[in-house]
Amino acid sequence: MPVCSNCRGKTFVRDDVTENLSCSTCGKLQEYDNYVHQYGGVSGPTGTFVSVGTTGSGNVYSYKETKVYEALKFIESMSLRLGLSTAEADAVKAMAREVTVGEYGQGNWFNIFVGACAYVAMRRDNKSLPIAEVVSVIGGTDVYELGRMIMRIVNFLDLKKPEFPEFDIVNLFERTLRNSYSFEGIEGDKRERMRKQGIFLLNCAKKWFLTTGRRPLPMVAAVLALVAELNGVGVRIEDLAKEIHAVVHTCKLRYRELLEALVKVAQALPWGKDVTVKNVIKNAPFVIQYMERKLMSEPSGKKDLVGGICLDLGDVREYLRNDSGYASDFCFEDDFDTEMDKLKLSHESRYFEVEDGGCKLGVEEMDALKLSHECLSMIYSKFSDEVDNVKSSKGFEEVRGTKKRRGFALHACAEWWNGQSEMSKRLLLKEILEKDVGLDAIPPSFVNGCVAVKRRKEKINAAKQRIDRIMCPSNARSGDSSDICISEEVHTRKKRKRGRGIDWEDLIIETLLLHKVKEEEIEKGWYSVLLELYVFNSGVVIPQSETLSK
């Protein structure tokens, strides 16, 4: 006789819905009361059967419905962690339902699938979502596995241009600048100025092919670091790289490439020969101003001081005044109150005599002032020499009784940023390539490839000479045995110079030449493939007669 587990009562009523017994005294539903044991002997059915009913709340839970519920819950959680809006999360759900035909899924593969759907949905709406960020949220996978899943979804949905646009690096820059905690305390005007400057530099990087065939995150980190430094925001590139899930070394490499490009542009300035990678940040306001003026200037037959554009010498004057080095030893007419002081320095500051403290020179004023490129270069050289003397003698501690701050504050200069050029806006690649910013660069990958091919040609020629000396000793020249020695290295603390000995690449090239590999194939640098094909005979069956003849 069953007993109630709650009140120990013995009177029960059968429930019509669950087919379980419920206590008539306290109403407690007795669990596992619908147990039915089947007796059938050896050949009959065996096991325990429990009636399929409901959970007591009136809802039926099947395997498919449970799977769909868990899948939708995971998609919502993933969208929340990726920072997607409600509409974007609904787009991810719709794409997952379309691809899986409403079946969804479970397991690790489904997590990768949801991340791939989020990436494709955002990119289809022309919104940037980096793969590295999706991988960091998913966990347990890498960018390559996620990339393969993305390609499968794109092929299944047959997404092509313009439905599936290219990755927008400008959108990624704006998203990072807007959401980064490193730029939280920046006011609106400065943030807008940084945004336009970043778009300007990114468009220039596109024109200089610094983003071609490369991952966008390192370039975004490099531009953010440069813009932050130009506006006096203390942000380290290592922190930016960690925040956007980029490799620190690659970010620093892109940052240096960007500075090198600015150095090349700065060569058009009168003092361009003195601009290097180390001091280009100090000259960056003038370089960017020159690029803006060149973009907005109309082509004409006459040329002024710098490349046919109007250069604002008032900014140069302000730069020399605010810089700690120049301000300590050089003065301008406006710095003195009496006419006698102005007359004493008139012969030194004649080239700064303009109205209202400005020095905006055009083509017409050029002839009147009779200033030339050589004149400004001579003036700047004089400044540099005298500043070096000041640095070596007394430094920059006190100037006219007031202490000067060391270094140079870029944000303390005159308003050098205009932001009215078209390069500060979103442009197509075709429009960017048509613009003139003072530099037409060659893709760095192409330059590096040409340098690598040239180096391999030299190694091939050296390897042929070594082989010829060994195989034909009579042709070898006396006294020319410096290249014959193979890796005779002296283990010292100093780093061995490349080119004095023979490294592994030289040995591989010699081996390939001995196996009659064409020089054009060796120049491409696919050593592993060539060794498999010609040396180890991977996948090639050699006839027995040929083996015996060898």
What percentage of the chain has pLDDT greater than the value 90?
37
pLDDT exceeds 70 at position 405: no
- Sign of the alpha-carbon dihedral angle for 361, 366, 372, 375: negative
Q: How many residues does the chain have?
A: 550
Q: What is the mean pLDDT of the chain?
A: 75
List of residues 6+ apart from 460 with CB closer than 8 A: 509, 513, 519, 522, 523
pLDDT of residue 477: 57
| Amino acid 15: pLDDT | 72
Residue 407: the pLDDT is 41
Q: Which fold has domain 171-412?
A: Cyclin A; domain 1 (1.10.472)
How much is the pTM? 0.64
Query: Span 27-55, mean pLDDT?
Result: 56
**Averaged pLDDT for residues 435-446:** 88
Query: Judging by DSSP bridges, how do beta strands 21-23 and 35-37 pair with one another?
Result: unpaired
Q: Which residues of 231-255 are buried (b: 16+ CB within 10 A; e: fewer)?
A: bebebebeebbebbbbebebbbebb
One DSSP character per residue, 231-246 reads TT----HHHHHHHTT-
pLDDT tens for 139-155 read: 888 999 999 999 999 99
Q: Check whether 347 has a pLDDT greater than 80.
A: no
548 pLDDT above the threshold of 70: no
Identity of residue 465: Q
Please state, as a whole number, how many other Cβ atoms lie within 10 Å of the Cβ of residue 270: 23
Which residues neighbour 323 within 8 Å (Cβ) at sequence distance 6 or greater? Answer: 282, 408
The better pLDDT of the pair 498, 216 is held by: 216
- Cβ neighbours of residue 281 closer than 8 Å, sequence gap 6 or more: 226, 229, 230, 259, 410
- The pair phi, psi for residue 23, each rounded to 5°, is -70, 130
Q: Is the per-residue pLDDT at 249 higher than 70?
A: yes
Of 96-100, 328-332, 455-459, the range with the lowest mean pLDDT is 328-332
- Say yes or no to pLDDT of 426 above 90: no
What is the model's pLDDT at position 345? 41
115 CB burial (10 A radius; 0-12, 13-18, 19+): buried
- Sheet strands (E) in 358-401: 398-399
Higher pLDDT, 516 or 494: 516
Determine the pLDDT at residue 23. Answer: 83
Q: Which CATH code of 1.10.472.10, 1.10.3720.10, 1.20.1050.10, 1.10.8.60 fits the domain covering 63-167?
A: 1.10.472.10
Confidence of residue 349 (pLDDT cuts 50, 70, 90): very low
For the chain, helix, strand, coil in percent to 5 are: 55, 5, 40
Quote the pLDDT of residue 324.
Answer: 41
3-state SS class at 23:
strand
Position 40 scores a pLDDT of 52
Count other C-beta atoms under 10 Å from residue 477's C-beta: 8
Domain 63-167 and domain 171-412, same fold? Reply is yes
Question: Which secondary-structure segment (H or E) carries 57?
Answer: none
Position 297 confidence tier, pLDDT thresholds 50, 70, 90: confident
- How far apart CA 257 and CA 432 sit, in angstroms, is 19
Q: Is 338 exposed, middle or buried (0-12, 13-18, 19+ CB in 10 A)?
A: exposed
pLDDT of 340 reads 42
Instruction: Specify the range with the lowest mean pLDDT, choosing from 81-90, 205-214, 222-231, 336-345.
Output: 336-345
- Does residue 21 surpass a pLDDT of 60? yes
- Token code pair at residue 543: 């006839």
Domain ranges of the chain: 1-53, 63-167, 171-412, 445-486+497-549
pLDDT of residue 60: 58
Determine how many CB atoms are found less than 10 A away from the CB of residue 474. Answer: 5
Is residue 96 very low, low, confident or very high in pLDDT (cuts 50, 70, 90)?
very high
The mean pLDDT value for 38-55 works out to: 51
In the numeric block, the tokens 């024109």 are attached to 207
**Would you place residue 300 in the very low, low, confident or very high pLDDT band (cuts 50, 70, 90)?**
very low
